[in-house]
């Protein structure tokens, strides 16, 4: 009798469980082409590329650049270049789940700027911060690259794909913070994800209507460049990467490099390089935290 009621309860339990499961994960890619996604990342291989388009070009002018991801075995090489940003400015950068970059039609408060809050309604929360350690969302989070005296930077990280994915599948300890973890059975891929770059010089005056992000100012978080990651089909899957990085290739729209006018930027003011303090060489830790 005992055995019988145990079996009965087990059957009831599993029946209820399977009834409760939602079948929603497979049906949300309405118009987008099929993306390379899987639970274990097995079909992520070879080269992926995102060409940058400039966001808020009336502030930034043109910012060509690109993100390259290359997976070979467990080895993931991440390489990012940005040109002609502001001098010595730290650039927060991350991969987001969203499928497209923000445009001026996402300017919700109609102030003529796409701020980080408006950008995030398009791209979602941070999935992979391109920081000092890609094997973990949390580790290395205070490191971000800084533009050189010409406003250029390149960022390069070698990481373990399996560690990165394992970390992304860990429990999300804080559903209210800026970081997102993947659900247990949520498919993952680089294809179609979005990379967003933030940060302009403190010499630039942004109106108060431009939102910042928590403790970070609107200057630090101002979105400047964005790209949608696509599989690069010229590199057959599984071949060893030859070290050649495609790019710099940016999408430049007509008049995108028109400099800012009006009260946005202090007119005619030169941004002088800071006095020689060479000990950090861009490997700077964040002051607060
Ligand atoms: Ca706005
Ligand atoms: Ca990290
Ligand atoms: Ca979170």
Residue 161 confidence (pLDDT): 96
CA of 59 to the centre of ligand 3 (A): 31
- Label residue 253 by pLDDT band (50, 70, 90): low
Residue 97 maps to a domain? yes
Residue 262 maps to a domain? no
Residue 194 maps to a domain? yes
Residue 242 confidence (pLDDT): 59
Of all ligands present, the nearest one to the C-alpha of 176 is: 3
Give the pLDDT confidence of 33-80 residue by residue, as tens digits: 566 688 888 889 989 999 999 999 988 888 889 999 999 999 999 999
Of all ligands present, the nearest one to the C-alpha of 133 is: 2
CA of 144 to the centre of ligand 3 (A): 20
Residue 256 maps to a domain? no
Of all ligands present, the nearest one to the C-alpha of 141 is: 2
CA of 48 to the centre of ligand 3 (A): 26
Residue 282 maps to a domain? no
Please, which residues have CB less than 5 A from ligand 2, an ion? 129, 131, 133, 140
Which of 146, 118, 121, 120 lies closest to 132, judged by CA? 146
**Structural domain total, the chain:** 1
CA distance 267 to 69: 39
Residue 38 maps to a domain? no
CA of 274 to the centre of ligand 1 (A): 31
Residue 200 confidence (pLDDT): 95
CA distance 201 to 58: 14
- Domain span at 63: 48-232
Give the pLDDT confidence of 16-31 residue by residue, as tens digits: 444 433 333 344 444 4
Residue 169 maps to a domain? yes
Give the pLDDT confidence of 202-232 residue by residue, as tens digits: 999 999 999 999 899 999 999 999 999 999 8
CA distance 134 to 130: 7
Name residue, tokens 């087990």. 10
Residue 270 maps to a domain? no
Question: What is the CATH classification number for the domain harbouring 97?
Answer: 2.60.40.200
């Amino acid at each position: 009798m005992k055995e019988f009621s145990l079996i009965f309860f087990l059957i009831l339990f599993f029946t209820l469980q399977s009834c409760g499961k939602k079948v929603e994960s497979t049906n949300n890619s309405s118009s987008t082409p099929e993306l390379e996604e899987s639970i274990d990342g097995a079909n992520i291989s070879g080269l992926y590329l995102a060409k940058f388009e400039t966001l808020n070009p009336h502030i930034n002018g043109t910012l060509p650049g690109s993100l390259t991801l290359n997976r070979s075995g467990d080895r993931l090489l991440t390489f990012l270049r940005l040109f002609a940003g502001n001098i010595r400015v730290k650039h927060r950068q991350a991969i987001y789940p969203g499928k497209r970059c923000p445009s001026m039609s996402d300017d919700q408060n109609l102030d003529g700027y796409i701020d980080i809050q408006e950008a995030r309604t398009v791209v979602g929360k941070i999935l992979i911060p391109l920081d000092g350690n890609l094997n973990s969302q949390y580790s290395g989070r205070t490191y971000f690259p800084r533009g050189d005296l010409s406003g250029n930077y390149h960022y390069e990280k070698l990481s373990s794909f399996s560690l990165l994915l394992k970390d992304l599948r860990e429990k999300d300890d804080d559903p209210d913070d800026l970081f997102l973890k993947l659900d247990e059975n949520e498919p993952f891929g680089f294809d179609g994800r979005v990379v967003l770059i933030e940060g302009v010089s403190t010499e630039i005056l942004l109106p108060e209507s431009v939102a910042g992000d928590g403790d970070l100012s609107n200057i630090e978080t101002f979105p400047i460049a964005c790209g949608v990651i696509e599989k690069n089909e010229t590199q057959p899957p599984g071949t060893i990467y030859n070290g050649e990085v495609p790019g710099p290739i940016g999408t430049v729209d007509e008049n995108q490099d028109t400099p800012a006018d009006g009260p946005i930027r202090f007119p005619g003011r030169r941004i002088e390089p800071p006095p020689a303090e060479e000990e950090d060489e861009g490997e700077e830790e964040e002051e607060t935290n």
